[in-house]
Amino acid sequence: MTPRGRDRARRAGLAVAGGVLLYAAHPPADLGWLGLVAVVPLLALGRDLRAAARPVAGGLWWGLLSGLVFFATLLTWLVPFGVVAWLLLALIQAAFIGLFVAAVAAWGQRRFGAAAAVVAWVAMEAARTRWPLGGFPWGALGYSQHEAGLLLPVARSLGVLGVSAACAAVAACVECGLAHRSILRPFLGLLGVAAVASGLAAVPPPAPGGDRLDIAAVQGNDLQRSGAAGVARLDDERIVNVAEAMLEATRPLAGDPPDVTVWPENSLDADVTDPANAELRSIVSSALELLNGEALVAGGLLAGPRPGTVYNAVLELGPGLAVDDTYRKRHPVPFGEYVPLRPVLGALPPLRQIPRDVLGADSPGIVTVAGAPLGFVICFENIFPALVRDQVRAGAELLVVSTNNASYGYSAMSRQHLAFSQLRAVESGRWTLHAGISGTSGIIDPSGRVSQRTRLYDEAIVRGELPLGSQPTPYVVLGDVVGVGAMTLAVLAMLGGFVGRARKGRTTR
């Protein structure tokens, strides 16, 4: 093999290894300890590319390959919705990994190259949280620590991106030791990371108040798997069947109803306030009677302000089917619940399966039930720390994640989704009820531990007397200082590079 061929083979091996390790650190493999070293091959790849003729271009290409290996495997649950959609989303997310490797190749040879690499990783994940179309931070490195990982408590102070930063810092120390065949420098670096992480992890969860709420989530099982907002969802028979399944699954609560019963997202997949939906209204009336006057909070739809629009909402339903309080989803799923640029893109055959647009609400909305202020997020929203943080800042003393993952079968999607809720519980310091219409459901304490975890497509009830909390965590107070800080430093570094090149160009003339 020629030297050039050996270079390509080595770089391809590092790229693939990085993608495989990142994938294995998350569910379904869920080898969380790999999250501490998963970035090592990518750092080594960036270091190797510094000797290339075009290090930045090489970083973009080989990083893109690594990202494709990672995201194409992590997001296989999207394949039933279309191979094109799956590959396109994987490609977009992989481009961010390409930018990271390019940054390591460009900046890594500088004095603080390891620190710059950590900043670049966090900046990349912070950017994925925001762009494009509001972001898609699925697979952020910090989520690898969701099952009582060593660095999980860092989220209480710095959020999931703080956990990602700590993981990337460990990887940078390991890669530095391997590259220099040295023990002392990386060992001192690891001691520094451990000291900072230990200090942050020592921050305890907020002390709960004296009040508790008896709350239950009913997993009635969406019997017909269907797209997030597709044509099949408009089938009246299916809508009634799902509501009836929810009613039947609720019957065990009749003798001793909790203070609040939660029916998850899409339990009522039509507007129950519309008298035209008589059969659906009758089912809800039966449920209210069964619960003997205790609160029912159900995932449903509300008509939008113009034809072809709806709100995906959580409804507190009372006697006479009065809607006492609501939370409307703030961040609908692009190309799942609505079509961006519908006049231009709506005619494309795959997008015709989304005949209406779910609108996003403008502000947080606390649902006060049985005297307890509850912070709801709906499905996809729990991947965004800022949305949950907004709810806690608005006064939420307990969190509820209302979701419908029935479309994704027995894939790892539901396990990955639950991991997001575990991080949200730690970040917010709130007990969290993760309520899935078909699973997985469970109760999450402020340390991220899950109890009463259900299996997919089982009829089940998750119930507990959960403590209410009103004190904020440092993360709720500080917000995303890690992500914003990393993006700011990355932008300043790029501007500095451009200015430096411009000055160098002028002096060589």
Distance CA 268, CA 284 (A): 9
Asked, for residue 260, whether it belongs to a domain, the answer is yes
- Residue 302: per-residue pLDDT: 92
Is 60 exceeded by the pLDDT of residue 128? Answer: yes
25, 122, 68: which is closest to 483 by C-alpha? 122
Residues 176 and 77 in one domain: yes
Residues 156 and 228 in one domain: no
Percent of the chain clearing pLDDT 90 (strictly above): 76
Asked, for residue 208, whether it belongs to a domain, the answer is no
Residues 13 and 113 in one domain: yes
Asked, for residue 175, whether it belongs to a domain, the answer is yes
Phi then psi for 264, rounded to 5 degrees? -70, 180
Which pLDDT band holds residue 227 (cuts at 50, 70, 90)? Answer: very low
Asked, for residue 41, whether it belongs to a domain, the answer is yes
Higher-confidence position of 346 and 317: 317
Domain span holding position 152: 3-203+480-507
Name the token pair of 258: 């909790």
Distance CA 117, CA 113 (A): 6
Is 90 exceeded by the pLDDT of residue 148? Answer: no
Half-sphere exposure of 108 (CA within 13 A, CB side): 27
* Listed range (20-34, 353-367, 441-455) with the worst mean pLDDT: 353-367
Is 60 exceeded by the pLDDT of residue 385? Answer: yes
- Residue 199: per-residue pLDDT: 93
Q: How does DSSP classify residue 296?
A: E
One-letter amino acid at 405 equals N
Which pLDDT band holds residue 234 (cuts at 50, 70, 90)? Answer: low
For residue 39, how many other CB atoms are within 10 A of its CB? 29
Asked, for residue 430, whether it belongs to a domain, the answer is yes
Q: For residue 112, with 0-12 CB atoms within 10 Å meaning exposed, 13-18 middle and 19 or more buried, which class applies?
A: exposed
Distance CA 370, CA 361 (A): 24
Residues 240 and 94 in one domain: no
- Residue 40: per-residue pLDDT: 98
- Residue 501: per-residue pLDDT: 64
- Residue 231: per-residue pLDDT: 41
Asked, for residue 71, whether it belongs to a domain, the answer is yes
* Summary mean pLDDT of the chain: 92
Say which residues have a Cβ less than 8 Å from residue 42's Cβ, sequence separation at least 6: 14, 15, 18, 63, 66, 97, 100, 101, 104
Alpha helices in 50-154 (DSSP H): 55-74, 83-107, 113-128
- Residue 509: per-residue pLDDT: 56
Bridge pairing between strands 432-436 and 398-403: parallel
Residues 463 and 493 in one domain: no
- Number of domains comprising the chain: 2
- Residue 288: per-residue pLDDT: 95
Asked, for residue 473, whether it belongs to a domain, the answer is no
Q: For residue 80, with 0-12 CB atoms within 10 Å meaning exposed, 13-18 middle and 19 or more buried, which class applies?
A: middle
CATH number of the domain residue 317 falls in: 3.60.110.10
Residues 233 and 374 in one domain: yes
Residues 110 and 181 in one domain: yes
Higher-confidence position of 482 and 232: 482
Is 50 exceeded by the pLDDT of residue 10? Answer: yes
The per-residue pLDDT for range 82-120, each reduced to its tens digit, is 899 999 999 999 999 999 999 999 986 667 888 999 999
The SS3 assignment for 212 reads: strand
For residue 231, how many other CB atoms are within 10 A of its CB? 12
Q: Are 60 and 98 in contact (CB under 8 A)?
A: yes
Residues 319 and 258 in one domain: yes
Residues 221 and 313 in one domain: yes
Is 80 exceeded by the pLDDT of residue 30? Answer: yes
- Per the DSSP assignment, residues forming a β-bridge with 366 are 375
Residues 221 and 267 in one domain: yes
For residue 83, how many other CB atoms are within 10 A of its CB? 10
Residues 365 and 490 in one domain: no
Higher-confidence position of 262 and 273: 262
Distance CA 64, CA 97 (A): 6
398, 401, 448, 455: which is closest to 423 by C-alpha? 448
CA distances from 340 to 90, 152, 344 (A): 19, 36, 9
- Per the DSSP assignment, residues forming a β-bridge with 315 are 298, 326
Q: For residue 179, with 0-12 CB atoms within 10 Å meaning exposed, 13-18 middle and 19 or more buried, which class applies?
A: middle
Asked, for residue 91, whether it belongs to a domain, the answer is yes
**pTM (two decimals):** 0.94
Is 80 exceeded by the pLDDT of residue 226? Answer: no
Is 50 exceeded by the pLDDT of residue 322? Answer: yes
Residues 305 and 446 in one domain: yes
390, 383, 392, 325: which is closest to 363 by C-alpha? 390
